[in-house]
Amino acid sequence: MTYEVLARKWRPKTFAEMVGQSHVLRALTNALDQNRVHHALLFTGTRGVGKTTLARILAKSLNCEEGVSSTPCGKCSACVEVDEGRFIDLIEVDAASRTKVEDTRDLLENVQYAPSCGRYKVYLIDEVHMLSDKSFNALLKTLEEPPPHVKFLLATTDPQKLPVTVLSRCLQFNLKRIPEQWIAEHLQNIMDKEGIAYEMPALQSLARVGDGSMRDALSLLDQAIAHCGGKLVADQVSDMLGTIDQQYVQDLARALASADGSQVMKVVAALSEKAPDYAAVLDALNSLFHRIALAQWVPDALDEGYGDVDAIRQLAGSVLPEDVQLFYQIGLIGRRDLSLAPDPRGGFEMVLLRMLAFQPDAALPVTDGQGAVAKQPQQAAAATSASASAPASHQAQSDSTAAPLETDYQPKASATEPVSPPPVVEVNDVAESVGGPETSPAPMSEWETLVSQLPLKGPSKELALHCVLAEKTANKIVLTVDASHNHLNRKTVVERLEKALRTSMGSAINLVINVGDTGGESPTDKRVRQKDQAHQASVKAIEQDPLVQDLQKVLGAEVDASRITPRES
């Protein structure tokens, strides 16, 4: 007996068997049940999403011997013949192979004649955008006013190529790409019915590579069954598809979160034995960072259909949110530049090394304007991002000699003229003439001095800068961290800090970190306070400067305090 491929064997025969496209199914179901089916329907969408399948089910619904409805019986001669592709009143045309105007005229010659055995004569024109301009012109009049016994069902993957005159005569339905999870569930259902053993990660890989196309996924499933010898094994399917085992990607993410360059290179070396597509590996890594970010900020939005939810949540708890965003951004830029690298593996390794080299600054607490520190970690992270992204040109301008100011008097606008907003005094233009106060570093505390000597970076340095020294002996250090920064207090981060302390102090130091009221200033708190005090002093000095006061009086200028940067000695 001839083998029938899965894509044909399991083609839906009713609307209820369709996967996805609920927005289209609802409209067609209502139209059929109310006998209000338009004479020309256009189905658009990418390959393998169900355009032709919907058209065939619709033809069956229109010609079922039990009457027009959204639930054809599937048993009458019309339904059986449509399913078997031999219904005489369903005329299927492949427009890609019949593009000439003569072909279209031959097709339309018999439109005026009544159906041979069905209720409607249905013309199904696939890839209709391939018709020539003259063919479209020949079709237009019939498409607009067909006989009452004729229905036109058009399908295309590229509706942009259809003339507006054709689009205006059709009722258009846009079919969406099918979500990966829905494809995986459908493949699982088919495998259960076929009685073939499988591993769920293998089906998920097939669904992912299917890229929204059910037909592509089913074709790959056929290939995978043959490749694996009757049982779908995730590793074998990955080899067939050329995809990467997600375990490698997760191991890379863990090593990056721990700033462990040696482990990163070990994972890359193991990957290289698979001869991977490094661009695909980088795409997989970026997708993982995206899912980690979802788990951190919007846990309910995390798709649990991939079977790796536990791993994602564990990673979400072990890497800082700002690190995830930085890794993702570096990964995107690296993906773009990967083709420019001397060799793919070297370019991929440089992207990973860049992720290790660049770390976000320690999160600075946000003040409330009175010098008090607001203890919200999200606001602190936002403050860090804002300070990191501030244009470097401002500082450069403040260090350079300012250009002479235009101080000529300008007459005020009359009552009939539009009043312009007052000019803003650029602090950088008057910084040299004002000679504002310079900030000098205050004596460092014992803990601040010790931290400055430690070879720390990334999360471990950030944790140290947010701690206050509570106790210090020859072999023990006790620190206190505020509850708002307890997300930094992770095992791997504490271990790196403890290791750095032991190396620096030359003894077996045991590190203990308590969470609660610090009772003092951490190095970061001190830095924020000093910066705020220096800023307030600089603003006051500039506002009291005679030149600035003259500009305010004559020109109605305003001081932009947000642009004032204290000079450090």
3-state DSSP of 489-554: CCHHHHHHHHHHHHHHHCCCCEEEEEECCCCCCCHHHHHHHHHHHHHHHHHHHHHCCHHHHHHHHH
| Mean pLDDT across 64-88 | 92
Going by the DSSP 8-state scheme, the letter that residue 366 receives in this structure is E
In whole angstroms, what is the distance from residue 90 CA to residue 93 CA?
10
502 has a pLDDT exceeding 50: yes
pLDDT band at 4 (very low <50, low <70, confident <90, very high): confident
Cα–Cα distances in angstroms (integers) from residue 342 to residues 217, 345, 378, 482, in the given order: 35, 9, 40, 47
pLDDT band at 190 (very low <50, low <70, confident <90, very high): very high
Going by the DSSP 8-state scheme, the letter that residue 302 receives in this structure is S
Name the nearest CA neighbour of 251 among 321, 315, 306: 315
Residue 360 pLDDT: 61
User: Quick one: 11 exposed, middle or buried, by C-beta within 10 A (0-12, 13-18, 19+)?
Assistant: middle
Residue 404 pLDDT: 38
410 has a pLDDT exceeding 70: no
Q: Which CATH architecture has domain 6-174?
A: 3-Layer(aba) Sandwich (3.40)
Contact 353, 286 (CB under 8 A): no
Residue 486 pLDDT: 84
Residue 324 pLDDT: 93
Helices (H), 21-175: 22-33, 51-63, 77-84, 101-108, 133-144, 164-167
Residue 262 pLDDT: 92
Domain 446-520 top-level CATH class: alpha beta
Contact 119, 97 (CB under 8 A): no
CATH topology agreement for domains 6-174 and 180-241: no
Across the strands, what pairs with 198?
232
pLDDT band at 43 (very low <50, low <70, confident <90, very high): very high
Sign of CA dihedral 550, 552, 553, 554: positive
Residue 71 pLDDT: 93
Residue 377 pLDDT: 39
In whole angstroms, what is the distance from residue 7 CA to residue 19 CA?
13
What percent of the chain has pLDDT above 70?
Answer: 84
In terms of DSSP bridges, do strands 40-44 and 171-174 run parallel, antiparallel, or are they unpaired? parallel
Residue 424 pLDDT: 52
Contact residues for 275 (Cβ-Cβ < 8 A; gap 6+): none
Out of 110-119, 303-312, 463-472, which region has the weakest mean confidence (pLDDT)?
303-312
pLDDT band at 445 (very low <50, low <70, confident <90, very high): confident
Residue reference for tokens 């065939």: 56
Residue 62 pLDDT: 94
| Mean pLDDT across 478-503 | 87
Contact residues for 260 (Cβ-Cβ < 8 A; gap 6+): none
Q: Which residue has the higher pLDDT, 68 or 300?
A: 68
Supply 160's token pair.
């942009």
Q: How many CB atoms lie under 10 A from the CB of residue 131? A: 28
Q: pLDDT tens digit string along 356-390?
A: 988 665 444 443 433 333 434 343 333 333 343 34
Residue 349 pLDDT: 95
Supply 49's token pair.
């999403």
**∠186-190-193 over CA atoms, to 5°?**
140
> Domain spans of the chain?
6-174, 180-241, 246-357, 446-520
Contact 468, 480 (CB under 8 A): yes
Residue 464 pLDDT: 92
Supply 483's token pair.
């509850």
Q: Taking each helix axis from N to C terminus, what angle separates 22-33 and 51-63, rounded to the nearest 10 degrees? A: 10
Supply 320's token pair.
């800082």
Q: How many CB atoms lie under 10 A from the CB of residue 189? A: 12
Cα–Cα distances in angstroms (integers) from residue 264 to residues 86, 500, 516, 535, 564, in the given order: 60, 21, 35, 42, 43
In terms of DSSP bridges, do strands 366-367 and 90-94 run parallel, antiparallel, or are they unpaired? unpaired
Out of 18-32, 391-405, 489-503, which region has the weakest mean confidence (pLDDT)?
391-405
Element (H, E) at 333: helix 321-337
Separation of CA 117 from chain center = 52
In whole angstroms, what is the distance from residue 438 CA to residue 441 CA?
10
| Mean pLDDT across 74-103 | 88
Contact 280, 287 (CB under 8 A): no
Name the nearest CA neighbour of 136 among 168, 162, 170: 162
Residue 203 backbone phi and psi in degrees, to 5: -65, -35
Going by the DSSP 8-state scheme, the letter that residue 184 receives in this structure is H
Q: Which residue has the higher pLDDT, 122 or 460?
A: 122
Residue 488 pLDDT: 82
**∠359-364-365 over CA atoms, to 5°?**
150
In whole angstroms, what is the distance from residue 120 CA to residue 114 CA?
8
Out of 64-78, 207-221, 317-331, 431-445, which region has the weakest mean confidence (pLDDT)?
431-445
Domain 180-241 top-level CATH class: mainly alpha
Residue 440 pLDDT: 54
Out of 37-41, 74-78, 225-229, 440-444, which region has the weakest mean confidence (pLDDT)?
440-444
DSSP letters for 458-499? HHHHHHHHTEEEEEE-SSEEEEEE-GGGGGG--HHHHHHHHH
Supply 396's token pair.
């450069």
Q: Which residue has the higher pLDDT, 383 or 214?
A: 214
Name the nearest CA neighbour of 35 among 148, 113, 147: 148
Q: Which residue has the higher pLDDT, 494 or 379?
A: 494
Supply 222's token pair.
């056929």
Residue 306 pLDDT: 64
Q: Which CATH architecture has domain 246-357?
A: Up-down Bundle (1.20)
**∠443-449-455 over CA atoms, to 5°?**
145
| Mean pLDDT across 274-301 | 90
Q: What is the dihedral of CA 345, 347, 349, 355, to 10 degrees?
A: -150
